[in-house]
Amino acid sequence: MKNIKIILLAPIVFDRHNNELVEEVMLNIGDKDYNKIFSKKDWKFLDTEDGYLRDVDGLVDIEDALSRERNLNPLMYQNFMPSFQTTYEQHQLEINSKLIVNEQHNFLMLFEFNFTNLNFQECSSFVKKVMNNRDVFSTTNTRSYYDKVKNKSLSIINGIIKNILNTTNFLIDKNNFTMNSNYPLIFINGFSEDKSLPHLFAHEENSEQRNTSLLITNEYANSFVHIGWNYGIVKDLPKNLSQKYLCMLIFLQLTYYQLRFYKNYFQKRIQNLSAQETFQEKEIKNFDKLKILYHKEYLGYKTYKSGLYPKLYNEFNNIEILWHMDEDTSFIEKIFEVQNEYINKHFQLATDKTNRNLNYGIAIIGLIQIFAIYGIFNDYVSLKKETGFANYINYATLSIEIIIASIVLFVMGIYIKTKVKKWKQITLWNCIFSKIMYWKMVLMNNQI
């Protein structure tokens, strides 16, 4: 049976000019019950095990594909929108839409275009015409259906944000909510071999990049597979293998736009660092929490990749390189290094400044206490002159004078030679000063 199916993978993005909203959602979502956010009456958890490894014929089915994919575990919104029936150039066209969300709370809209009753032999010209500017809705004159889907998606996601943040002050609107980053994945079945399909990618990739999937295509007669920069084509592969490509592209699209958010967000934060003179504790904690979330999601990304079949693992690598995802991760890690180094130096400078101020304070306190010690001895000597020196010269008073002098010299030696923390030095001075004042009172009482 001749069939062409186009699945548009449209990540739902609402961070344009509004990174702070995404930050608020990400920082608060961990405090909420996952099951309460995504109600069971509205969302369906696709948790069927991957039950087959052999080749299976049939048409690609989105829900079946997601149910069988390990390490993806998405939720799908139930009864999202009814199917839309129309025609395109005398060909029957049915459009379905499905809204899913993954464990990292990234949303993805899947539009499924089914073209049937196709009576031509070659498919490249048809695909090229449909894929004009990648705007399939405008090409097929179904923009009104797209607008309805977008409005409903906006309503659903705003409801979730309200549930997470417990407020309506951060709801998104049409200006920063987009689904136009559509990646079309085209499934072709039942047509004769078309040598012109690779040339559809000629304007964006070189010949080496266009021939990276030959290992898989050589295993199946009349097949062609290429996942490119702007769109991908999977032709005449078994259903199970086609669905693996679909799930792999779903995962990569979600990850690609998650990386884009982190890259733009942390880059913006780095640009603001140079203008900041102080850092609030909350700001630093939020930044660190987002870094932990990023690394958690990055580990999930690597876990998914390591679980792929070897031949799909190689394809995954090719897409990563083609989409520059490895450069994005390196860029984010570099931003973390710069941020950590900058804040550490900032705190070091602030600490040095505080220590200098403490040193000045300690010097002043020390000077005051030296004058206080001098006053004690002056009072003591004056008192002895007034009452008669002979009456108070004895071993006890002489011993007290020696002890006090020794204590003063000992404390000054500690202050000069040791590296005691500044506040401990102040405490030590105050303790000694209190003792000296105590002995002064004793001496004065003895002499009266």
- pLDDT score recorded for residue 213: 56
- pLDDT score recorded for residue 72: 81
CA atoms within 13 A on the CB side of 266: 25
The lowest-confidence range among 64-68, 229-233, 313-317, 403-407 is 403-407
**pLDDT (tens digit per residue) in 200-247:** 887 777 776 666 655 677 788 888 888 888 889 999 899 988 999 999
Examine the pLDDT at 396 and tell me if it is beyond 60. Answer: no
- pLDDT score recorded for residue 11: 84
- pLDDT score recorded for residue 148: 92
Numbers of helices and strands, H then E, in the chain: 14, 9
**pLDDT (tens digit per residue) in 318-360:** 888 888 888 888 888 888 787 777 766 666 666 666 666 666 6
* C-alpha 118: how far from chain center: 45
Burial class (CB in 10 A: 0-12, 13-18, 19+), 385: exposed
**pLDDT (tens digit per residue) in 95-111:** 999 999 887 778 899 99
Q: Any idea where the domains of the chain sit in the sequence?
A: 3-323, 348-447
- pLDDT score recorded for residue 293: 84
- pLDDT score recorded for residue 99: 94
Buried-exposed string 180-214: b where 16+ CB fall within 10 A, e elsewhere: ebbbbbbbbbebeebeebbebbeeebeeeebebbe
Q: Of the candidates 184, 308, 305, 182, which has an alpha carbon nearest to the alpha carbon of residue 234?
A: 184
Examine the pLDDT at 128 and tell me if it is beyond 70. Answer: yes
Question: What's the pLDDT band for 58 if we cut at 50, 70, 90?
Answer: confident
Q: Are strands 183-189 and 232-235 parallel, antiparallel or unpaired?
A: parallel
- pLDDT score recorded for residue 422: 46
Examine the pLDDT at 177 and tell me if it is beyond 70. Answer: yes
Examine the pLDDT at 169 and tell me if it is beyond 70. Answer: yes
- pLDDT score recorded for residue 48: 64
Average pLDDT score over residue span 52-67: 79
- pLDDT score recorded for residue 142: 92
How far apart CA 189 and CA 305 sit, in angstroms, is 27
Which backbone phi and psi does 43 adopt, to 5 degrees?
Answer: -115, 145
Residue 52: both structure tokens together: 């087959």
Mean pLDDT computed over every residue of the chain: 76
Examine the pLDDT at 187 and tell me if it is beyond 90. Answer: yes
Burial class (CB in 10 A: 0-12, 13-18, 19+), 235: buried
40: three-class secondary structure by DSSP: coil
The lowest-confidence range among 10-19, 67-76, 151-160, 375-384 is 375-384
Question: What's the pLDDT band for 415 if we cut at 50, 70, 90?
Answer: low
DSSP E strands in 167-326: the ranges are: 183-189, 224-227, 232-235
- pLDDT score recorded for residue 90: 83
- pLDDT score recorded for residue 377: 58
- pLDDT score recorded for residue 435: 57
Q: Of the candidates 111, 190, 168, which has an alpha carbon nearest to the alpha carbon of residue 145?
A: 111
Sequence-separated (6 or more) residues with CB below 8 Å from residue 193: 222, 224
The lowest-confidence range among 218-227, 262-271, 284-293, 424-433 is 424-433
**pLDDT (tens digit per residue) in 133-158:** 778 888 889 999 999 998 999 899 88
